[in-house]
């Protein structure tokens, strides 16, 4: 009778072990809690399952079989519950790393075009409306395009190594976009009506209106009967369209080897008490037309080259050219 009781109470203990173990593993909410439950129930040294297994020895032989079967069932149930608890935590860790679609979104920070690029795009648009298409030329130029074909002879002071970035005796970083005039005329017969926009390089001392690298917009129009009046009209129209109807510009007689006559174009700076040079211009010199195989008796032309930085500065009230190259977002954001 007493061995029967022992089996009964042993089976009862197994039952409790199972339900408590399943509850503990089911409730374990962290890797630490799962591990603690594992040690308590399935621990090899002093786990409760181990103790239940040892109890087998104390039972009457007649009860061993029933107890052993039940024990195996409990063991399998607890091992399965441990496995399940581990999988559950793993899944939750993966989910925590993944995108939480309930969080408020963070807006990507969109940039915009640099003010100089904006200016260049507007120039292309404006001159496009005057019938000018866009031409391009290389920044690494040969001295023939930068000087010779522009009627600048080898002895001319503009070719001084101190005033240019030479790469070799016959190649250089172009010092002006006038090079593109030559490239365009070499490539096509008249009539021509193009602008060229790009970087130019000069070892100038940097100050509020000078940089060693800057941008120019070159304009060239060659056709029958083109006159200085056309040049002045186009530049005035352009200045009013880009800088505002009230902008004041003036033309001063000047000299460029590749134009005759030549002028310098100034704009009244913001604040209104100072003239700043916007560019040079003039009627294409007959020598230049001849050098590219055009007949100066047939066609005439005008050309101009304007500093894009200064146009951009005048338009936006920027007082120092260096601001355009510093990449300071607080400055750039304003345009």
Annotated binding site for Mg(2+): 260
Lateral strand order in the sheet of 192-201:
133-135, 192-201, 213-223, 300-307, 275-284, 259-268, 249-256
User: Are the C-beta atoms of residues 130 and 238 closer than 8 Å to each other?
Assistant: yes
User: Are the C-beta atoms of residues 216 and 305 closer than 8 Å to each other?
Assistant: yes
Among 310, 312, 314, 318, binds ligand FA5 (CB under 6 A): 310
The one-character DSSP state at 189 is P
32 burial type by CB count under 10 A (0-12 exposed, 13-18 middle, 19+ buried): exposed
Binding string, 169-208, against ligand FA5, x = CB under 6 A? -------x-x-----------------------x-x----
Give yes or no for residue 280 binding ligand FA5 (CB under 6 A): yes
**Residue at shortest CB range from ligand FA5:** 307
Binding string, 128-167, against ligand FA5, x = CB under 6 A? ----------------------------------------
Backbone Cα Rg of the chain: 43
Phi and psi at 18, nearest 5°, equal: -65, -50
Q: How far apart are CA 176 and CA 61, in angstroms?
A: 109
Find the binding residues for ligand FA5 in span 214-273 (CB under 6 A): 214, 216, 256, 259, 262
Q: Which is nearer to ligand FA5, 78 or 308 (CB)?
A: 308
User: Are the C-beta atoms of residues 239 and 221 closer than 8 Å to each other?
Assistant: no
Give yes or no for residue 281 binding ligand FA5 (CB under 6 A): yes
Among 279, 294, 301, 314, binds ligand FA5 (CB under 6 A): 279
Among 22, 303, 313, 324, binds ligand FA5 (CB under 6 A): 303
The residues of the shown chain that bind ligand FA5, judged by CB under 6 A, are: 176, 178, 202, 204, 210-211, 214, 216, 256, 259, 262, 277-282, 303-305, 307, 309-310
């Amino acid at each position: 009778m007493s061995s029967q009781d022992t089996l009964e109470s042993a089976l009862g203990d197994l039952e409790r072990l199972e339900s408590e173990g399943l509850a503990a593993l089911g409730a374990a909410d962290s890797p630490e809690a799962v591990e603690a439950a594992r040690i308590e129930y399935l621990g090899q040294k002093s786990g409760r399952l181990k103790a239940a297994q040892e109890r087998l020895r104390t039972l009457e032989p007649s009860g061993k079989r029933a107890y052993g079967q039940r024990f195996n069932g409990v063991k399998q149930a607890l091992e399965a519950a441990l496995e399940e608890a581990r999988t559950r935590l793993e899944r939750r860790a993966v989910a925590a790393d993944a995108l939480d679609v309930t969080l408020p979104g963070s807006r990507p920070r969109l940039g915009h075009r640099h003010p100089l690029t904006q200016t260049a795009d507007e120039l292309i648009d404006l001159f496009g409306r005057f019938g000018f298409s866009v031409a391009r030329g290389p920044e690494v130029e040969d001295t023939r395009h930068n000087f010779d074909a522009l009627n600048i002879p080898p002895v001319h002071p503009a070719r001084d190594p101190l005033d240019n970035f030479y790469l070799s005796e016959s190649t250089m970083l172009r010092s002006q976009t006038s090079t593109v005039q030559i490239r365009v005329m070499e490539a096509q017969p008249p009539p021509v009506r193009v602008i060229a926009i790009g970087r130019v390089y000069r070892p100038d001392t940097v100050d509020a209106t000078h940089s060693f690298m800057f941008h120019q917009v070159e304009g060239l129009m060659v056709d029958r009967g083109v006159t200085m009046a056309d040049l002045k009209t186009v530049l005035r129209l352009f200045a009013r369209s880009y800088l505002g109807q009230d902008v004041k510009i003036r033309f001063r007689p000047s000299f460029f080897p590749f134009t005759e006559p030549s002028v310098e174009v100034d704009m009244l700076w913001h604040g209104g008490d100072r003239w700043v040079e916007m560019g040079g211009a003039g009627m294409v010199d007959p020598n230049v037309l001849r050098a590219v195989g055009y007949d100066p008796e047939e066609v005439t032309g005008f050309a101009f080259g304007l500093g894009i930085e200064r146009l951009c500065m005048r338009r936006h009230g920027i007082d120092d050219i260096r601001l355009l190259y510093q990449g300071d977002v607080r400055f750039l954001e304003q345009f």
